[in-house]
Copies of this chain bind each other. A is one copy, B any other.
Amino acid sequence: MATLKDISVELGLSVATVSRALNGFPEVGARTRTRVQEAAARLGYRPNRSAQRLATGRSGVVGMIVKLRADMSADQTFFDVITSLTAELAARDLDLVLSVDQGDDPVAPYKRMLERDLLDGFVLNAPVPNDPRPGFLMSRDVPFVMHGQAHDAPDYAFFGIDNAAVSADAVELLTTLGHRRIALINGEARFAFAAEREAGFRAAMAAGAGAVPDSAVADGPPTENTGYTLALSWLSGRTGPRPTAILCATTPVAAGVLRAARDLGLSVPGDLSVMAHDDALPNIRPAHFNPALTVTHAPLREACAPLAQMLVDHLNGAPPARLQTVIRAGLIVRASTGPVPKGEDIPWQIP
C-alpha cells in the first residue's frame, strides 16, 4: 500500500502538500495537483482509513441499539429498517454498528458504546414518552437522529410521520361514510407513536363522531392474533354495542380483524369497515387482503434516506433543530371500507 509519504518522496514534495492536493484544498497549484493525482493513481494510493479517522476524530461508524422485546414483535419492522438504513448509510460512507440490548436501563448500552470511542453518532428508534436517551446523548454532545418522533417540539434531529393525522385522516374517512362507533386497536401503549395516535383518534372522534369510551380503545403487540382476539370480543357484542368500523395500528392486526369478522359471518365492508396504518413491510400486501384493505400508508423504509442524510448533515455541523422532518401518511382507499350499515350510525354511549 502506497502512503502519502511514498508519493511525497516520489515527487519531492512534502506530505502536507500531497494531502492537500488530493483533498481538493484551494491553496495548491494546478500543476502540482495534477502531478500529485497522477502519481497517486500510478502508485495505487488509497488513504488509510484508520489514520484518517485518528487525525480527524471521526470514525465513519454510527451505532444503533435495538431493544429486545420479549415478544419479538419488532422483528419485521426492524429488519425492513435495517435493510434500507445500512444501504443508505453505506451510500454516504458510513457503517452501522449494531447492538442488541436486553437490559432495563435505556441509556446504559449507549454509554457502553460511547466508551469504546468508535462511534460518530447514533440512530435511535422507537421513542417512548419522556425518552431519556436524547437528553443523555445531548448532554454528551453526541450527534443522533431519532426515527419515529414527530412532536414534543424536541430540539434534536428526527424523522417521523404525523401520527395524529394518521388517526384523524382515518376517522374522517369513516365518519364521512356515516360511521360513528369506531374502535381503535392501537400500538403498544408504551410507545410514543401510540399515544399520539390515540390522542389524534380521540380528538378527531370528538370533533366528528362523538366521544369514545375507553372500552373502544385497546392495544397489544402488532400481530394477527391481537386483531383476532380483540375483534372477536368486540364483535360478539358481549362487551356492549358493536363497533361498525375498526381502526388498526398495523396490517397484521387488520388481518386478524378480517379473520374474526369472517368467523362471525360478518361481511366487510357490508357489516364492518376495517382500516389500518400500513408501514409497507415487504412481505405483507394489504392490497391483496380479502377484501383489499383501506389504509393510511407510510413506508418505513422511506424514512431511511432522510435519516441517513440528516445524520450526515448533523455530523457536518448542521444545527439539529433544523433537521426535523414530519411527513404525512397517504390515504389509500380500497375495498374494506364502506358506508355504515343502515340504522347503525349511532355514536358510542359514554357510561
Contact = CB atoms under 8 A, between A and B. Distances in A.
A46 B116 contact: yes
Given A1-B117, A50-B54, A72 B76 contact: yes
Contact of A61 (B47, B82, B97): B97
A99 to B, nearest CB: 5
Contacts of A51: 50, 54
Interface string A83-94: 100110010000
A233 interface: no
A115 B79 contact: no
B71 A117 contact: no
Interface in A119-133: none
Contact of A54 (B48, B76, B117): B48
A138 to B, nearest CB: 17
Contacts of A86: 98-100
A64 to B, nearest CB: 9
Given A99-B86, A118-B95, A49 B59 contact: yes
A300 to B, nearest CB: 13
Contacts of A87: 100, 102
Contacts of A117: 1, 46-50
B116 A71 contact: no
Contacts of A68: 83
A283 B73 CA distance: 9
A100 B68 CA distance: 19
A112 interface: yes
Contacts of A99: 86, 90, 95-96
A191 interface: no
A53 interface: yes
Nearest to A282: B72
A78 interface: yes
A75 interface: yes
B50 A59 contact: yes
A95 B49 CA distance: 14
A113 B44 CA distance: 11
Contacts of A282: 70, 72
B95 A116 contact: yes
A143 interface: no
Nearest to A49: B117
A54 to B, nearest CB: 4
Contacts of A252: none
Contacts of A283: 71-72
Nearest to A53: B50
A41 to B, nearest CB: 11
A61 B115 CA distance: 14
A60 interface: yes
A82 B59 contact: no
B79 A75 contact: yes
A82 B60 contact: no
A242 to B, nearest CB: 29
B90 A112 contact: yes
8 contacts: A1-B115, A1-B117, A48-B117, A51-B54, A72-B79, A83-B102, A87-B100, A96-B97
